[in-house]
C-alpha cells in the first residue's frame, strides 16, 4: 500500500530537450526567411509600381474606349477601337513579363492563334471572340484600384517600420504633420523605445508584403492566364469516355476474330487436312471410297472459304473497296432479314474513311432491325448534302431504341464521332426507329465541323447543364464578393485621406463595369440543355435558333451595361454636352444589325458569325 501511494504521488515534470528548440528555431527561420530572400523585395517593388501602372493603364483605356465609342458614328472611332484592342493586348504582355520577373509567377500566353491568311477583319473578329482579350481588359482596369490598395499598404508598412526604426537619428527634425511625430515621438527616450516596435513591424510586415505579392501574382494568373472551362472539361471527359469505349471495342473485336478463326475456319481446315490424308491412304490402297472423301474435303474447303469471307467482310468488306459504297449498300440490303428499300446512294466514290463509316452504320442498323425491331420493312438513304454525307436508316418496328441501351449504336456514334460527324436516333415507342448519321466529306468540312464542336454550343443533359450553371454562379459570387471588398477598401482609403477629392468615382466605375459585364455574361448565357430542345422536330435548327437568340440577348445586355458606364463617366467628368448620346446611337445600330434575321453574307463574314 505505501508503494502505491508513493506512485500515485509522483508528478510529471517537463524536461528541456534539444529537439523542441530545434523545431522552434526551424519555425522561426521559415517565418523570417522571406526577409533575406531577394524575391521578396522584387515583389515589394511590383506592389509599389502597381499604382503608377494602374493610373497609366486605366487612363489610357478609359480615354481610348470613350473616344472610340463616342466617334464611332463618324467612322473615326472604329480604327481607334481596333487599335485599342491591339494596344491592351500588348500592355497585358508587358504585365505578364513584369510579373514573371518581379513576382516570380510565370504566366504563359493564353491567346488563340490568329487565323492564317484571310482579310484583316477576320483577325479582328478572332481577337474579339477570344475570352483572353476581355480578361486582359478586366485586369488592366482592376490594376488602378488594386494598385491603390497595394501601394497604400506597402508604403504604410515600410514607412512606419523604417520611420520608427531610425527615429533616434532624426526625431528632433520632425514637424507636426509627419506621421511619426503624430505618434508623439518628440524625445530621445521615446524614439529609442520605438526602435523595437519598428523592427517588429518590419519583421512581420515584410513577409506579409511578400505574401501580398504572391496573392497579386495569383490574381494576375487567373485573369492574364488561361482557365479551364466547365463545358470544355465536360467535352474532354466525353472524349476520354469515347476513347475508352473504342479501345474496349477494338479488344472485343480482336477476341471475336480469334474466336471465329479458332472455332470456324481453323476447325474446317483441320478436317480438310484429315480428309485429304485419309483419301490419300485409301487411294493408295485402291479403295473406291477415296472419291467421297475428296468430295467432302472440297465441301469443307468451300465452307472454310465462306467463313473467311464473312470474317473479312466484318473487318472491311472487299465489295466496298472494289465497287464502292452503292454496291456495298445494295449487298447489305439483299442479305438483310427484312425487305429493305435503298432510296438513294452517292453517284461517285467518296473518301475511304467516310465510305467505311457509312457502310458500318448501315450494316449495324440493319442487323439491329433484324434482331430487335420486329419490323416488316426498312429504308436506307445515303446521299451527299452540303459537304456532308447523310446516312438515314429507318424502319417501322417497335421503336424505343436509344444510344445508351447497350446496343451497337453506341459504337457507331464513336466511329462517326472520330470523323467529327454526328449520329442521332429518333425512336418513339411504337413508331419505328430512325437513325441519321452526318459525316463530313471533305477536309474543309471536317475542319469546319471540328471548329463548330469546339467553339459552338453543346447540348448537355438537363442535370449536367444545371450543375454547370450553378458552378458558374458560385464562381461569379466569389468574383463579385472580391470586387466588393476592393471597393470597400478603396472607399475606406478615400474617406480617411481626403474626401474632398473625387478620385474614388473612377475606380468604382471600373469595378461596376467589370461586375456588370461579368454578371450579365453568366446569367444570360446558361448552357444549352435537353430541356430547351424538348418537343423540337429539327434539333440542329432549334439549337441554331436558341443560340442566335441568346447571342442577341447577351449582345444587347452588354451594350446596356456599357452605356450605363459611359453615362457614369459623363456624370463624373461634369461635362455639359451629353456626348454619350452618340455611343447610345451606335449601340442601337449595332444591336439592330445583330437582330436582322438574315444578315448579308459580307456582314456575316465581317462579324465572324457562323450560320
Is 257's pLDDT higher than 70?
no
Nearest to 238 by CA among 406, 460, 419: 460
Q: Could you give the CA distance from residue 145 to residue 515 in angstroms, rounded to a whole number?
A: 14
Q: What is the mean pLDDT of residues 290-306?
A: 67
pLDDT tens for residues 506-527? 778 878 888 888 888 888 888 8
Adjacent-strand bridge partners of 440: 388
pLDDT of residue 313: 54
233 — pLDDT class (breaks 50, 70, 90) = low
The total of other beta-carbon atoms located within 10 Å of residue 333's CB is 18
Tell me the pLDDT tens digit for each residue of 65-119.
878 777 766 777 788 888 888 888 899 999 999 999 998 888 888 887 777 766 7
Angle at 259 between CA 321 and CA 268, to 5 degrees: 85
185: region left, alpha or beta (phi > 0 left; psi from -120 to 50 alpha)? beta
Is the model's pLDDT at 18 over the cut of 80?
Answer: no
Q: In this predicted model, what pLDDT tens digit does every residue of 373-391 receive, in sequence order?
A: 788 888 999 888 877 888 9
Alpha-helix residue ranges (DSSP H) falling in 408-538: 409-417, 443-455, 462-497, 505-524
Query: Please, which pLDDT band fits residue 456 given cuts at 50, 70 and 90?
Result: very low
What's 134-177 look like in SS3? Answer: HHHHHHHHHHHHHHHHHHHHHHHHHHHHHHHHCHHHHHHHCCCC
Mean pLDDT for 589-596 is: 77
Q: Is the pLDDT of residue 4 over 50?
A: no
User: What are the tens digits of pLDDT across the range 407-439?
Assistant: 566 677 777 777 778 888 888 888 888 888 888
The reported pLDDT for the residue numbered 94 is 92
Any idea what the Cα angle at residue 55 is, between residues 575 and 569, rounded to 5°?
Answer: 25
The model's pLDDT over 306-315, given as tens digits with 9 standing for 90+, comes to 666 655 555 6
Please state, as a whole number, how many other Cβ atoms lie within 10 Å of the Cβ of residue 360: 22
Residues 6+ apart with CB under 8 A from 428: 399, 400
- Looking at residue 234, what is its pLDDT? 57
Q: Tell me the HSE value of 99 on the side-chain side, using a 13 A CA sphere.
A: 28
Q: How far is CA 365 from CA 336, 358, 371, 438, 497, in A?
A: 10, 11, 10, 15, 77
- pLDDT greater than 60 at residue 15: no
Does the structure show a pLDDT above 70 at 207?
yes
Give the closest residue to 88 by CA, choosing from 115, 113, 117, 59: 59
Q: What percent of the chain has pLDDT over 90?
A: 4
User: Average pLDDT, whole number, for the chain?
Assistant: 75
Q: Is the pLDDT of residue 176 over 70?
A: no
Q: DSSP 3-state assignment of 343?
A: strand
pLDDT of residue 485: 83
The vertex-331 CA angle with 326 and 332, nearest 5°, equals 100
Separation of first and last alpha carbons in the chain:
98
> Which of 316, 357, 303, 364 lies closest to 336 in space, CA to CA?
364
Gap between the Cα atoms of 379 and 386, Å rounded: 22
Rounded to 10 deg, the angle between the 77-102 and 131-165 helix axes is: 50
Q: Judge contact between 558 and 520, C-beta under 8 A.
A: yes
Distances (CA, A) of 491 to 515, 568, 572, 604: 17, 17, 16, 45
What distance separates the 2 farthest-apart alpha carbons in the chain? Answer: 137
Is residue 472 within 8 Å of residue 230, measured between CB atoms?
yes
Q: What angle do CA 419, 423, 428 make, to 5 degrees?
A: 175
Distances (CA, A) of 524 to 132, 360, 484, 546, 549: 20, 42, 22, 12, 11
Torsion of CA 542, 544, 549, 552, to 10 degrees: 180
pLDDT above 80: residue 265: no
What are 21-56's pLDDT values in tens digits?
Answer: 456 566 666 766 778 788 888 999 999 999 999 889
Position with higher pLDDT, 611 vs 572:
572
Whether the per-residue pLDDT at 280 is higher than 80: the answer is no
Q: What is the pLDDT, as a whole number, of residue 607?
A: 39
Report the sign of the C-alpha dihedral through residues 73, 78, 79, 85, in that order. Answer: positive
CA distances from 554 to 33, 94, 222, 488 (A): 50, 31, 23, 29
What is the spatial distance between Cα 401 and Cα 210, in angstroms, rounded to a whole number? Answer: 62
Q: What's the whole-number mean pLDDT along residues 165-187? A: 64
Please check whether residue 230 is in contact with residue 471, taking contact to mean a CB–CB distance below 8 angstroms: yes
What does the block give as the cell for 115? 487565323
Contact between 395 and 338 under an 8 Å Cβ cutoff? The reply is: yes
Give, as one character, the DSSP assignment of residue 106: -
Return the exposure string of 69-86: e unless at least 16 CB atoms fall within 10 Å of the residue's CB, then b. bbbbeeeebeebbbebbe
Amino acid at each position: 500500500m505505501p508503494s502505491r501511494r508513493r506512485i500515485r504521488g509522483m508528478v510529471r515534470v517537463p524536461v528541456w530537450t534539444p529537439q523542441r528548440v530545434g523545431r522552434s528555431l526551424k519555425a522561426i527561420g521559415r517565418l523570417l526567411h522571406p526577409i533575406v530572400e531577394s524575391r521578396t523585395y522584387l515583389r515589394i517593388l511590383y506592389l509599389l509600381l502597381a499604382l503608377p501602372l494602374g493610373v497609366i493603364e486605366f487612363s489610357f483605356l478609359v480615354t481610348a474606349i470613350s473616344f472610340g465609342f463616342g466617334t464611332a458614328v463618324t467612322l473615326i472611332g472604329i480604327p481607334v477601337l481596333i487599335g485599342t484592342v491591339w494596344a491592351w493586348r500588348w500592355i497585358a504582355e508587358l504585365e505578364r513579363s513584369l510579373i514573371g520577373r518581379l513576382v516570380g509567377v510565370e504566366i504563359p500566353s493564353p491567346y488563340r492563334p490568329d487565323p492564317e491568311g484571310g482579310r484583316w477583319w477576320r483577325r479582328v473578329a478572332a481577337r474579339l471572340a477570344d475570352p483572353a482579350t476581355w480578361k486582359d481588359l478586366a485586369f488592366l482596369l482592376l490594376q488602378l484600384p488594386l494598385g491603390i490598395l497595394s501601394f497604400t499598404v506597402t508604403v504604410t508598412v515600410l514607412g512606419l517600420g523604417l520611420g520608427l526604426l531610425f527615429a533616434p537619428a532624426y526625431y528632433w527634425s520632425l514637424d507636426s504633420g509627419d506621421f511619426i511625430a503624430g505618434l508623439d515621438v518628440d524625445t530621445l527616450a521615446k524614439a529609442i523605445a520605438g526602435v523595437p516596435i519598428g523592427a517588429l513591424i518590419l519583421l512581420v510586415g515584410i513577409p506579409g508584403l511578400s505574401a501580398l505579392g504572391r496573392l497579386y501574382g495569383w490574381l494576375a494568373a487567373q485573369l492574364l492566364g488561361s482557365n479551364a472551362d466547365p463545358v470544355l472539361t465536360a467535352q474532354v471527359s466525353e472524349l476520354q469516355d469515347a476513347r475508352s469505349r473504342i479501345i474496349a471495342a477494338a479488344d472485343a473485336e480482336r477476341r471475336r476474330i480469334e474466336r471465329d478463326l479458332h472455332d470456324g475456319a481453323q476447325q474446317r481446315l483441320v478436317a480438310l487436312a484429315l480428309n485429304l490424308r485419309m483419301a490419300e491412304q485409301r487411294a493408295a490402297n485402291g479403295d473406291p471410297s477415296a472419291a467421297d472423301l475428296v468430295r467432302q474435303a472440297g465441301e469443307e474447303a468451300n465452307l472454310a472459304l465462306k467463313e473467311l469471307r464473312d470474317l473479312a467482310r466484318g473487318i472491311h468488306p472487299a465489295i466496298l473497296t472494289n465497287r464502292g459504297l452503292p454496291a456495298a449498300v445494295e449487298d447489305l440490303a439483299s442479305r438483310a432479314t427484312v425487305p429493305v428499300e435503298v432510296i438513294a446512294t452517292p453517284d461517285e466514290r467518296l473518301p475511304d474513311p467516310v465510305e467505311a463509316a457509312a457502310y458500318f452504320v448501315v450494316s449495324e442498323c440493319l442487323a439491329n432491325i433484324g434482331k430487335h425491331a420486329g419490323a416488316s420493312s426498312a429504308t436506307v438513304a445515303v446521299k451527299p448534302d452540303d459537304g456532308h454525307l447523310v446516312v438515314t436508316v429507318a424502319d417501322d418496328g417497335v421503336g424505343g431504341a436509344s444510344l445508351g441501351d447497350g446496343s451497337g449504336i453506341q459504337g457507331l456514334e464513336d466511329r462517326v464521332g472520330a470523323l467529327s460527324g454526328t449520329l442521332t436516333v429518333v425512336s418513339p415507342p411504337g413508331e419505328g426507329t430512325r437513325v441519321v448519321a452526318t459525316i463530313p466529306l471533305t477536309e474543309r468540312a471536317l475542319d469546319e465541323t471540328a471548329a463548330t464542336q469546339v467553339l459552338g454550343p453543346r447540348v448537355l443533359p438537363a442535370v449536367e447543364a444545371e450543375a454547370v450553371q450553378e458552378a458558374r454562379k458560385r464562381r461569379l459570387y466569389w468574383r463579385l464578393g472580391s470586387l466588393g471588398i476592393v471597393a470597400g477598401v478603396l472607399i475606406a482609403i478615400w474617406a480617411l485621406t481626403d474626401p474632398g477629392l473625387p478620385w474614388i468615382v473612377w475606380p468604382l466605375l471600373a469595378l461596376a463595369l467589370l461586375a456588370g459585364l461579368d454578371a450579365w455574361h453568366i446569367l444570360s448565357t446558361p448552357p444549352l440543355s435537353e430541356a430547351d430542345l424538348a418537343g423540337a422536330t429539327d434539333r440542329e435548327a432549334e439549337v441554331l435558333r436558341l443560340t442566335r437568340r441568346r447571342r442577341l440577348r447577351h449582345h444587347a445586355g452588354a451594350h446596356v451595361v456599357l452605356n450605363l458606364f459611359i453615362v457614369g463617366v459623363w456624370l463624373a467628368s461634369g461635362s455639359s454636352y451629353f456626348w454619350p448620346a452618340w455611343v447610345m446611337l451606335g449601340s442601337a445600330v449595332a444591336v439592330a444589325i445583330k437582330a436582322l434575321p438574315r444578315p448579308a453574307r459580307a456582314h456575316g463574314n465581317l462579324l465572324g458569325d457562323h450560320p
